């Protein structure tokens, strides 16, 4: 009777164990699931990194927009400092430094320096003479693919507003300035655009 019990006990133990094939299948399934989780996690990290970088560039561009808008909305007619501009540069009269003294303000895009939007300000006497070395220059925005300015004026013939790529010294002050900032992330271009209305025109 004892031998019979031992025999059945061995069978029950054998039924509870895993075979080599079962272990291999379980290991394969675990490996596939692990790789899928790892791939999903890595993809999520890459997507987060891209969004984070884009948001950082977007935030920098929005701060630049605010600075340019403040300068443009505070421009005014001032003898000797005309509003002039083209697609990559514009200059006009404005208030400079902490004392809010009148002077010349310029924004220009320097592609050779790695894609940098630069702001310069000069006291009235130096702006009038055009002595650039005496002005204050600093970077407003870096790592940019392109910055494009365009200028709005009222066409006296059609009585419609037109946009031009340039603005001459004899044209007065435009009704508005459109600023487009293009930056590149990976193989894609992103654009941000803002139109600034100027209270003092003509």
92 alpha carbon, distance to own chain's centre: 25
Residue 177 scores a pLDDT above 90: yes
Euclidean distance between CA atoms 31 and 46, whole angstroms: 22
Smallest CA-to-CA distance from 177 within 166, 189, 191 is with 166
User: What confidence score (pLDDT) does residue 169 get?
Assistant: 82
Provide mean pLDDT across the span 80-85: 91
Residue scoring higher pLDDT (43 or 67):
67
Query: Which tokens belong to 86?
Result: 């083209």
Residue 97 maps to a domain: yes
Query: Which tokens belong to 4?
Result: 């019979």
Euclidean distance between CA atoms 129 and 96, whole angstroms: 17
Residue 139 maps to a domain: yes
* Pairing verdict, β 176-185 and 188-197: antiparallel
Residue 159 maps to a domain: yes
* Number of domains into which the chain is organized: 1
Residue 135 maps to a domain: yes
Residue 164 maps to a domain: yes
Euclidean distance between CA atoms 152 and 167, whole angstroms: 9
Residue 61 maps to a domain: yes
pTM confidence score: 0.69
Euclidean distance between CA atoms 46 and 193, whole angstroms: 27
Q: Which ranges of the chain would DSSP assign to H, the alpha helix? A: 2-16, 20-73, 124-129
* 196 contacts 177 by C-beta, under 8 angstroms: yes
Other Cβ atoms closer than 10 A to 4: 8
147-174: per-residue pLDDT in tens?
Answer: 999 999 988 888 899 999 999 988 899 9
Residue 154 maps to a domain: yes
Q: Residue 57 belongs to what domain range?
A: 52-197
Residue 13 maps to a domain: no
């Amino acid at each position: 009777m004892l031998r019979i019990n031992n025999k059945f006990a061995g069978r029950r133990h054998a039924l509870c164990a895993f075979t080599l094939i079962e272990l291999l299948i379980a290991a394969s399934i675990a490996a596939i699931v692990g790789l899928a989780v790892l791939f999903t996690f890595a993809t999520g990290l890459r997507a987060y990194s891209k969004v984070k970088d884009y948001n950082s560039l977007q935030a920098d561009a929005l701060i630049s927009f605010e600075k340019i808008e403040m300068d443009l909305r505070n421009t005014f007619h001032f003898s000797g400092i005309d509003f002039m501009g083209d697609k990559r540069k514009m200059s006009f009269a404005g208030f400079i430094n902490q004392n809010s003294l009148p002077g010349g303000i310029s924004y220009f895009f320097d592609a050779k320096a790695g894609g940098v939007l630069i702001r310069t300000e000069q006291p009235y006497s130096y702006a009038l003479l055009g002595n650039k070395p005496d002005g204050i220059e600093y970077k407003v925005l870096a790592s940019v693919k392109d910055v494009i300015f365009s200028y709005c004026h009222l066409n006296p013939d059609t009585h419609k507003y037109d946009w031009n790529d340039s603005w001459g010294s004899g044209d007065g002050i435009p009704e508005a300035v459109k600023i487009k900032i293009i930056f590149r992330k990976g193989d894609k271009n992103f654009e941000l655009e803002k139109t600034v209305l100027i209270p003092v025109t003509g």
